[in-house]
């Protein structure tokens, strides 16, 4: 094979490789854009559902906590954690999502155990919460009453929690609220919302 022909062949292969690389990069970029757009749509749906939850319950804070793996112990066992991934608050109420990251499940055993066993965790007064570290955490956030319901996949795997916090002493008139006589209504509402939101998260 002559030397000019070799150079011509090499140039052709180089051009083809460049075109292939450009095409692949373009396709990868489009796929990443599609994933980002889908994520943005799902996030918007979750926030809409949370805002509706906040309004209907008369709560001051509505949020999603999701379970995830953290680092690993020397034994190789994963550190199970949970973090706030979505949150909406009323005007004048502190947003706590940035301060609610990477909690270790093992540090809040009683809270998590009750949540997993009963599919809900609710207390009108912090003094009634057995998990002292969790009660102090809520106190630090200004929480007076709390209601959490598990988020589950269709096959029943718990992936997180939808929760509402009541910080003010009174719930606006006409809202479900968190009173003994309306607890059933609040439970039904939050469980219905949990099914909707879980669909966006899986």
Q: Is residue 24 part of a domain?
A: no
Q: Which domain holds residue 61?
A: 43-201
Q: Is residue 197 part of a domain?
A: yes
Q: Is residue 7 part of a domain?
A: no
Residue 58 — left, alpha, or beta (φ > 0 → left; ψ -120 to 50 → alpha)? left
Entry pTM: 0.77
Instruction: Give Cβ neighbours of residue 184 (< 8 Å, ≥ 6 apart).
Output: none
Phi and psi at 48, nearest 5°, equal -65, -45
Distances (CA, A) of 173 to 14, 56, 57: 72, 11, 10
Contact 197, 64 (CB under 8 A): yes
Domain with 193 in it: what CATH number? 3.30.450.40
Q: Is residue 16 part of a domain?
A: no
Q: Is residue 28 part of a domain?
A: no
If the chain, 202 residues long, is cut into consecutive pieces of 10 residues, what is the mean pLDDT of each piece?
Answer: 59 62 62 74 93 93 93 77 96 94 92 94 86 92 93 93 88 58 76 93 84
Q: Is residue 60 part of a domain?
A: yes
Element (DSSP H or E) covering residue 189: helix 183-201
Q: Is residue 36 part of a domain?
A: no
Residues in the chain, overall count: 202
């Amino acid at each position: 094979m002559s030397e000019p022909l070799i150079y011509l062949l090499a140039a052709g292969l180089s051009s083809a490789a460049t075109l292939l690389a450009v095409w692949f990069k373009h396709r990868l970029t489009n796929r990443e854009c599609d994933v980002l757009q889908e994520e943005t749509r799902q996030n918007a749906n979750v926030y809409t559902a949370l805002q509706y939850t906040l309004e209907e319950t008369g709560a001051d804070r509505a949020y999603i906590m999701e379970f995830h793996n953290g680092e690993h112990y020397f034994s190789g066992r994963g550190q199970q954690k949970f973090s706030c991934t979505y949150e909406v608050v009323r005007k004048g109420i502190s947003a706590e999502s940035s301060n609610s990251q990477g909690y270790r499940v093992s540090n809040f055993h009683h809270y998590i155990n009750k949540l997993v066993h009963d599919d809900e965790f609710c207390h009108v007064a912090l003094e009634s919460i057995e998990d002292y570290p969790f009660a102090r955490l809520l106190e630090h956030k200004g929480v007076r009453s709390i209601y959490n319901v598990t988020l589950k996949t269709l096959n029943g795997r718990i992936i997180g929690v939808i929760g509402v916090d009541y910080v003010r002493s009174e719930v606006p008139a006409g809202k479900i609220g968190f009173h003994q006589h309306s607890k059933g209504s609040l439970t039904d509402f939050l469980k219905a919302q949990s099914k909707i939101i879980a669909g966006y998260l899986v």
